[in-house]
C-alpha cells in the first residue's frame, strides 16, 4: 500500500516536470501543491473537497481563512501553504508592475489590483503614485469603508504624493457588490481629489473600479 502511495506521487511529480499544469483539472493542481504541506497523507480527497466547496482555485484563493478551516481534513500547514501562494502571487505581480514599465492603460495594472482587492468584503481606496514616465513608484490604501462606501481624505493623498514626488496618480477602489458602474459618490470623489491634487500640480490620470469579473476605467470611458 505504501509502495502504491509513493508511486502515485512520483508519477504526478513526473507529469508536472514534463508539462507543467497544462490540461490538469483544478483538484489535480491542488493535489500536487498539497504534497508539500502534507508529505505523509493522501491529498487527492482533500483537494476534491476544497474544489467542491470553493468551485475553483480562484474561489479557494479568494475565500476567507475561516471558511477554508471548516473543510474536513485541512490542517494549519495546508492553510499556510494556500495563503503563501496567494501572497507570493501578489508580491510577484506588484514587483512586475512597480517601476518596470510605463502604465499606458488600466489593463497594465489590473492583474495586481484584482489580486489585492477583488476578494475584499469592504470598499478600499488605493492610490498609485507615478513618476513623469508613468512608472509606478508607490501605492497606499488611503480609505477603508463599509460595503458601499470608503471615506476619502484629500490631505492624506496630497501628503503621500508630495512625499513620493509623484507627477501623476491613479485612483483605484473596489465594488464588493460586483457592479462596475461608478456611483454619483464615485464621480464626486474623483472631482474632489482632482481639484485637491491640482494645487500641487499632480494629475489624476485614471480612476479604476475593480469588480468581481472585470474593471471600469474612468479614462477609457472619457470621464477623466
E strand or H helix that includes residue 65: helix 65-69
Which segments in the chain show pLDDT lower than 70?
1-5, 97-102, 111-112, 115-116, 118-119, 146-152
Task: Report pLDDT digits (tens) over 154-180.
Answer: 888 999 999 999 999 999 988 888 788
Nearest to 86 by CA among 10, 33, 135: 33
**Rounded to 5°, angle at Cα 58 from 54 and 61:** 80
pTM of the full structure: 0.63
Residue 111, phi-psi category: left (phi > 0), alpha (psi -120 to 50), beta (remainder): alpha
* CATH number given to 102-217: 3.40.140.10
Q: Where are the domains of the chain?
A: 2-93, 102-217
Which class is domain 2-93?
mainly alpha
The single residue listed with the C-alpha cell 508630495 is 162
How far apart, in whole angstroms, are the C-alpha atoms of residue 113 and residue 9?
Answer: 35
Task: Report pLDDT digits (tens) over 2-34.
Answer: 556 678 888 999 999 998 999 999 999 999 999
Q: Please tell me if the domain spanning 2-93 has the same topology as the one spanning 102-217.
A: no
Give the pLDDT score at 1.
44
Amino acid at each position: 500500500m505504501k509502495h502504491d502511495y509513493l508511486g502515485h506521487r512520483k508519477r504526478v511529480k513526473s507529469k508536472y516536470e514534463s508539462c507543467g499544469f497544462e490540461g490538469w483539472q483544478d483538484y489535480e493542481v491542488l493535489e500536487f501543491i498539497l504534497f508539500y504541506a502534507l508529505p505523509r497523507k493522501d491529498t487527492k480527497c482533500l483537494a476534491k473537497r476544497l474544489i467542491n466547496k470553493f468551485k475553483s482555485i480562484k474561489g479557494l484563493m479568494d475565500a476567507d481563512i475561516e471558511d477554508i478551516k471548516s473543510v474536513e481534513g485541512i490542517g494549519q500547514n495546508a492553510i499556510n501553504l494556500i495563503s503563501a501562494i496567494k501572497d507570493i502571487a501578489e508580491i510577484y505581480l506588484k514587483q512586475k508592475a512597480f517601476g518596470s514599465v510605463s502604465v499606458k492603460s488600466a489593463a497594465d495594472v489590473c492583474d495586481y489590483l484584482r489580486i489585492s482587492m477583488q476578494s475584499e468584503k469592504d470598499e478600499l481606496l488605493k492610490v498609485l503614485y507615478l513618476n513623469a514616465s508613468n512608472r509606478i513608484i508607490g501605492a497606499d490604501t488611503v480609505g477603508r469603508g463599509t460595503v458601499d462606501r470608503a471615506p476619502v481624505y484629500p490631505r492624506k493623498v496630497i501628503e503621500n504624493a508630495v512625499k513620493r514626488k509623484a507627477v501623476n496618480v491613479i485612483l483605484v477602489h473596489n465594488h464588493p457588490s460586483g457592479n462596475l458602474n461608478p456611483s454619483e459618490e464615485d464621480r464626486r470623489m474623483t472631482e474632489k481629489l482632482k481639484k485637491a491634487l491640482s494645487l500641487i500640480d499632480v494629475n489624476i490620470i485614471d480612476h479604476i473600479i475593480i469588480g468581481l469579473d472585470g474593471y471600469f476605467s474612468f479614462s477609457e470611458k472619457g470621464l477623466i
